[in-house]
C-alpha cells in the first residue's frame, strides 16, 4: 500500500464521492460506432486501479467484455489488504467493485500469476487490449546496514500481517519491546502507529485478523516514534489521520519543542490545506491542553511522537548480532522552504534504543514480464496517458503508471484516463477490432496444461471470511 503514500493510507478521504461518481455512470466519452466484433479487454490486477478501469470501459462501451486477472485467489488489492482495520468506511468501495465484478460483461479470474502462469504476449494474442494494473507490490529498501536484522519490517508486510494478506501470515512480529520506531510520516506510518497503540477493546470491534489481535493483546510496546527526514511543514499524512492519532484513547503525544522553531512564521506562506494540517500538529505538540485533555493525557499509559529532521543510517544489532537493538539516526537541517525543502546532513548522529523498526518509506512496482517496457529507476511502465510506449494495444493504470502516489480518488481519475485512452484507440482504429479474439477461452487451455486452476468471483465469495493462506482458500474452492 504498501504510502506512501498506498499509499493508500489516505484512503479515508471522500469515500462517498468516489462511489457516487461511479454509480452515476460515465458521460459517454470514448463512445464509438461499434464493430460487429465484441472488444475483449484483459486487465491484470484487481485492486482499485483494475476495477476502476474495468468499470469505465464497461460503462462507456456497451459491447465490451472485460476479464480481470489476479495473482491471489481474492480480489480488491490494497483496499482489502492495505487499509487499516479500524477504517471500515474506506472499504465500502468494495461494494461498488463487487457490482462491477458481477456485471454480465465482466469476469474475475483469481489465482493466475501473469508473467508466470501466462505471459503478457499470450494475453495480447487472446485480447484486443491488455491493461496492466497490478500496482506497487514491492518494498522500497532503506539501503542501510542492519536492515535485514530480525525486528525490522516493511510497513507493507506489517499491514499485510494484521489485515490477513496470505504472504504475510508467517511474519510473527516480536512485540515484546517497549519502543517501536516507524520510519516515514505518511498515512501508512500513522495507521501502523495507531494499530500498535490502540486499546485492545477498540481493535476487537474491527475486522483485524485473530492472530494479529492475539499478538497485539500481549504487546509490550508502549512508545512509538514516527521519524521523518524533514520538518513539520513537510509531513506527509492527512489531517484526518493526525486528528485520529491525537485523540487515540490511552495515549499522549510527546514531541520536541525545538523541532517547531520558526514554524508559526513559515505558515504565512503555505497553502491552506497544509496550513491547517501544520496548525493541528502545532496545537497537539505545544499547546497547553484544556483540563479535560490534561486529565486524559495524565491517565495515558502509551506515548507517541513525531521526530523530525532525522534520517536512518544504521540499524543497531543486539550483542549476539541476531536482532535489532536500536537505530542510528542522522540529524538533518533543511535547505529551502515549503514542499521543495531538502534535508541536508549536519554530521550529528543520534542512537535510539528500540526493539521494533517498521520502514514506511514507500512501495514500488516491479517488472512481471520481460516483454513489457519498464523504467527501473522510476519503477513504472513508461507510458503516455496510460498507453505503454512502443507496444500497441498495451496500457497501464494505477501506481504502475504513476508510481505510488495519491489516495483512492487519485487512482480513480488515473484509471478513468487510461480507460479513455483505450476507448479512444478503439474508436480511431488504433486498436484493431476487426479480428475476432477468443479472450479467456483461448487462455483456458494454456492454464490447464500448466496446472493452474482459476478462482472465479463466485468461488471468492465462498472464501471471503479472512482465510489466511492461499492453500486454505484453494481447498475451500476446489473441495
Question: How does pLDDT run across 47-81, given as a tens digit for each residue?
Answer: 999 999 999 999 999 999 999 999 988 898 767 76
Q: Is 66 annotated as a binding residue?
A: no
DSSP state of 265: H
Q: Is 263 annotated as a binding residue?
A: no
In this predicted structure, the answer to whether residue 28 has a pLDDT above a threshold of 60 is no
Q: Is 18 annotated as a binding residue?
A: no
**CA neighbours within 13 Å on the CB side: how many for 14?**
12
Confidence grade of residue 82 (pLDDT, cut at 50, 70, 90): low
What is the Rg, in whole angstroms, of the alpha carbon atoms belonging to the chain? Answer: 24
Question: What's the pTM?
Answer: 0.77
Can you list the alpha helix ranges (DSSP code H) found in 25-92?
48-60, 77-81
CA dist list (Å): 141 to 27, 307, 377, 381, 458: 42, 21, 13, 20, 38
pLDDT tens track for 414-435: 999 999 999 999 999 999 999 9
Confidence grade of residue 15 (pLDDT, cut at 50, 70, 90): very low
Q: Is 114 annotated as a binding residue?
A: yes
Q: Is 49 annotated as a binding residue?
A: yes
pLDDT for position 463? 67
pLDDT for position 477? 65
CATH 3.40.50.720 residue ranges of the chain are 40-137+364-478
Quote the CA–CA distance of 438 and 162 in Å, as a whole number: 40
Return the CATH fold of 40-137+364-478. Answer: Rossmann fold (3.40.50)
Q: How does DSSP assign 218-249, residue by residue?
A: T----EEEEE-SS-GGG--S-HHHHHHHHT-T
Beta strand residue intervals within 35-105, DSSP E = 40-44, 65-69
Confidence grade of residue 94 (pLDDT, cut at 50, 70, 90): confident
Confidence grade of residue 395 (pLDDT, cut at 50, 70, 90): very high
In this predicted structure, the answer to whether residue 9 has a pLDDT above a threshold of 70 is no
With vertex at residue 10, the alpha carbon angle to CA 236 and CA 375, rounded to the nearest 5 degrees, is 75
Put the strands of the sheet holding 342-353 in their side by side order: 310-317, 324-335, 342-353
Give the mean pLDDT of 272-293: 92
Q: Is 195 annotated as a binding residue?
A: no
Q: Is 74 annotated as a binding residue?
A: no
Quote the CA–CA distance of 446 and 461 in Å, as a whole number: 25
Q: Is 385 annotated as a binding residue?
A: no
CA dist list (Å): 355 to 9, 54, 256, 423: 24, 44, 22, 52
Q: Is 185 annotated as a binding residue?
A: yes
Q: Is 70 annotated as a binding residue?
A: yes
Q: Is 342 annotated as a binding residue?
A: no
**Weakest-pLDDT range from 176-190, 263-277, 296-310:** 263-277
Q: How does DSSP assign 447-464, residue by residue?
A: HHHTT---EEHHHHHHST
Burial 183-207 (b: 16+ CB within 10 A, else e): bbbbbbbbbbbbbbbbeeeebeebe
The count of other CB atoms within 10 Å of the CB of residue 252 is: 20
Q: Do residues 230 and 341 make contact, with C-beta atoms less than 8 angstroms apart?
A: yes
pLDDT for position 476? 66
In this predicted structure, the answer to whether residue 21 has a pLDDT above a threshold of 60 is no
C-alpha cell at 399: 501506481
Which of 1.10.357.10, 3.40.50.2300, 3.50.50.60, 3.30.1360.70 is the CATH number of 141-361? 3.50.50.60
Q: Is 210 annotated as a binding residue?
A: no
Q: Is 91 left (phi over 0), alpha (psi -120 to 50) or beta?
A: alpha
For all residues of the chain together, what is the average pLDDT? 87
Give the mean pLDDT of 240-263: 93
Pick from 174, 4, 160, 167: which is nearest to 84 by CA? 160
DSSP state of 438: -
C-alpha cell at 22: 461511479
Pick from 221, 218, 188: which is nearest to 363 by CA? 188
CATH 3.50.50.60 residue ranges of the chain are 141-361
Q: Do residues 78 and 47 make contact, with C-beta atoms less than 8 angstroms apart?
A: yes
Which backbone phi and psi does 43 adopt, to 5 degrees? -115, 125
Q: Is 285 annotated as a binding residue?
A: no
Instruction: List CB contacts of 280: < 8 A, sequence separation 6 or more.
Output: 239, 242, 243, 246
pLDDT tens track for 301-314: 999 999 999 999 99
Per the DSSP assignment, residues forming a β-bridge with 455 are 110
Amino acid at each position: 500500500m504498501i504510502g506512501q503514500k498506498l499509499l493508500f493510507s489516505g484512503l479515508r478521504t471522500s469515500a462517498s464521492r468516489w462511489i457516487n461518481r461511479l454509480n452515476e455512470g460515465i458521460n459517454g466519452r470514448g463512445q464509438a460506432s461499434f464493430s460487429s466484433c465484441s472488444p475483449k479487454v484483459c486487465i491484470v490486477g484487481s485492486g482499485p486501479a483494475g476495477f476502476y478501469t474495468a468499470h469505465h470501459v464497461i460503462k462507456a462501451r456497451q459491447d465490451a467484455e472485460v476479464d480481470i486477472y489476479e495473482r491471489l485467489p481474492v480480489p480488491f488489492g490494497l483496499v482489502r489488504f492495505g487499509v487499516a482495520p479500524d477504517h471500515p468506511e474506506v472499504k465500502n468501495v468494495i461494494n461498488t467493485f463487487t457490482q462491477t465484478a458481477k456485471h454480465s460483461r465482466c469476469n474475475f479470474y483469481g489465482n493466475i500469476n501473469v508473467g508466470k502462469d501466462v505471459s503478457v504476449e499470450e494475453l495480447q494474442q487472446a485480447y484486443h487490449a491488455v491493461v496492466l494494473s497490478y500496482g506497487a507490490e514491492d518494498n522500497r529498501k532503506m539501503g542501510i546496514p542492519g536492515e535485514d536484522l530480525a525486528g525490522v519490517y516493511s510497513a507493507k508486510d506489517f499491514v499485510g500481517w494484521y489485515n490477513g494478506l496470505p504472504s504475510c501470515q508467517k511474519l510473527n512480529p516480536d512485540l515484546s519491546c517497549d519502543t517501536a520506531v516507524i520510519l516515514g510520516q505518511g498515512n501508512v506510518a500513522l495507521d501502523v502507529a495507531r494499530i500498535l497503540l490502540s486499546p485492545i477493546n477498540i481493535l476487537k470491534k474491527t475486522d483485524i485478523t485473530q492472530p494479529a489481535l492475539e499478538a497485539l493483546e500481549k504487546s509490550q510496546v508502549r512508545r512509538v516514534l514516527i521519524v521523518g527526514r524533514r520538518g513539520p511543514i513537510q509531513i506527509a499524512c492527512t489531517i484526518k489521520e493526525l486528528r485520529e492519532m491525537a485523540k487515540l484513547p490511552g495515549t499522549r503525544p510527546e514531541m520536541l519543542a525545538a523541532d517547531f522553531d520558526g514554524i508559526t512564521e513559515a505558515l504565512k506562506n503555505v497553502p491552506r490545506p497544509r496550513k491547517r494540517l501544520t496548525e493541528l500538529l502545532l496545537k497537539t505538540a505545544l499547546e497547553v491542553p484544556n483540563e479535560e485533555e490534561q486529565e486524559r493525557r495524565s491517565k495515558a499509559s502509551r506515548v507517541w511522537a513525531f521526530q523530525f529532521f532525522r534520517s536512518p543510517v544504521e540499524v543497531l544489532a543486539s550483542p549476539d548480532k541476531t536482532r535489532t537493538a536500536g537505530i542510528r539516526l542522522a540529524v538533518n537541517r533543511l535547505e529551502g522552504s515549503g514542499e521543495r525543502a531538502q534535508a541536508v546532513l549536519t554530521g550529528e548522529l543520534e542512537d535510539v534504543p528500540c526493539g521494533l523498526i517498521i520502514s514506511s518509506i514507500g512501495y514500488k512496482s516491479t517488472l512481471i514480464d520481460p516483454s513489457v517496457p519498464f523504467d527501473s529507476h522510476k519503477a513504472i511502465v513508461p507510458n503516455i496517458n496510460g498507453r505503454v510506449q512502443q507496444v500497441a494495444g498495451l496500457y497501464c493504470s494505477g501506481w504502475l503508471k504513476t508510481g505510488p502516489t495519491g489516495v483512492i480518488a487519485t487512482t480513480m481519475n488515473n484509471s478513468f484516463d487510461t480507460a479513455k485512452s483505450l476507448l479512444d484507440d478503439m474508436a480511431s482504429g488504433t486498436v484493431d477490432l476487426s479480428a475476432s479474439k477468443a479472450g479467456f477461452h483461448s487462455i483456458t487451455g494454456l492454464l490447464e496444461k500448466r496446472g493452474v486452476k482459476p478462482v472465479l468471483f463466485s468461488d471468492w465469495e465462498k472464501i471471503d471470511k479472512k482465510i489466511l493462506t492461499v492453500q486454505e482458500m484453494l481447498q475451500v474452492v476446489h473441495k
